[in-house]
Amino acid sequence: MNFSHVDQIDDVGTVENVALLEAKQAQINFHREQSRKFQMEQAERMVKRSRIELAPGQKGDNVAIPIPLVDRGCGDPRNILAVILDRSENDNYTLATKHGILKGAYSRNEFKLCPEKLLLMSDVNCTTFVSLREAVVFGSRCGGQGYIKCSCSGSKKCQTNRCKCFKAKLKCNSRCHQSLNCKNK
């Protein structure tokens, strides 16, 4: 093969191409900076709006935490009451129920402030840590959600101990996989 035409490229064309590439890169960098600037402004507006709409909670305030559908039984309440123990500088809250301190930190949009003092600081258990699901089970009159959910797939669907339902000697339910050919229904 003959690559002699590569040697024939003049320096003027190369300089023009480099100048075009540098101009394009400068334009890209400008647009990136503008995008970053506008994104930060939008984030500041969102935080400002959420702070106006969601008043910050104070230590000792009562809150209602919504319980996800999969974590509660049919007769269980939709919310669990808690008390704010602490608020970090990032506006994350440590919450406690009658059954223990909830694991993890909650942001302000994950709970609602209660106007009445239904729980006092002396009513909550500050010695143990529990998950939200465990707190719901402890406070449930029906024994908690009572559902085991599997998501089995493959040739031996729900016929081995890998299946949570099969292992617990329960039938698969509607919250499990959507397979009609499940062997454990």
Query: Which two tokens mark 41?
Result: 């402004």
User: Which DSSP state fits 134?
Assistant: H
Whether residue 81 contacts residue 62, with contact meaning beta carbons closer than 8 Å, is answered with yes
Phi-psi region of 171 (alpha: psi -120 to 50; beta: other; left: phi over 0): beta
Question: What pLDDT is attached to residue 33?
Answer: 96
Query: Which two tokens mark 171?
Result: 């039938």
Whether residue 142 contacts residue 74, with contact meaning beta carbons closer than 8 Å, is answered with yes
Q: Burial-class residue 152 by CB neighbours within 10 Å (0-12, 13-18, 19+).
A: buried
Q: What distance in Å separates the CA atoms of residue 102 and residue 108, rounded to the nearest whole number?
A: 15
Whether residue 65 contacts residue 132, with contact meaning beta carbons closer than 8 Å, is answered with yes
Question: What pLDDT is attached to residue 6?
Answer: 47
Q: pLDDT of the chain along its 185 residues, tens only?
A: 454 444 445 555 677 888 889 999 999 999 999 999 999 999 999 888 887 888 888 899 999 999 988 777 777 889 999 999 999 888 899 999 999 999 999 988 899 999 998 888 888 988 999 998 888 888 776 666 666 677 777 667 788 888 887 887 777 777 677 666 777 77
Query: Domain-by-domain residue ranges, the chain?
Result: 12-53, 62-139, 148-185
Q: What distance in Å separates the CA atoms of residue 136 and residue 113, rounded to the nearest whole number?
A: 19
Query: Which two tokens mark 108?
Result: 């302000």
Place of tokens 């229904």: 185
The string over 122-135, giving b where at least 16 C-beta atoms fall within 10 Å of a residue's C-beta and e elsewhere, is eebeeeeebebbbb
Q: What distance in Å separates the CA atoms of residue 102 and residue 82, rounded to the nearest whole number?
A: 9
